[in-house]
Amino acid sequence: MSTAEYALGTVAACAFAAVLYVILTSSQVRDTLTSMLTDALQVGG
C-alpha cells in the first residue's frame, strides 16, 4: 500500500474512534449500560 492509503486508513480509524467516543459518552448510553450492569448484579446475588 502507498502512503496515501495508510493516511486514509488512519483518518478513517480516527473518525470511527471519535464516533464511538461520542456515542459511548452520551448520557443515554451511559444510563442504559449502568442499568444493565445493576440489573445483572442484582440477579446474581
pLDDT recorded at residue 16: 97
pLDDT of residue 45: 57
pLDDT at 43: 79
Query: What is the Cα Rg of the chain in Å?
Result: 18
Torsion, Cα 34 18 22 35, to 10 degrees, reads -10
Domain boundaries, the chain: 3-44
Question: Which residues are CB-contacts of 23 (< 8 A; sequence separation ≥ 6)?
Answer: 29
* pLDDT tens digits along 1-45: 689 999 999 999 999 999 999 988 899 988 998 999 999 999 765
**pLDDT for res 24:** 86
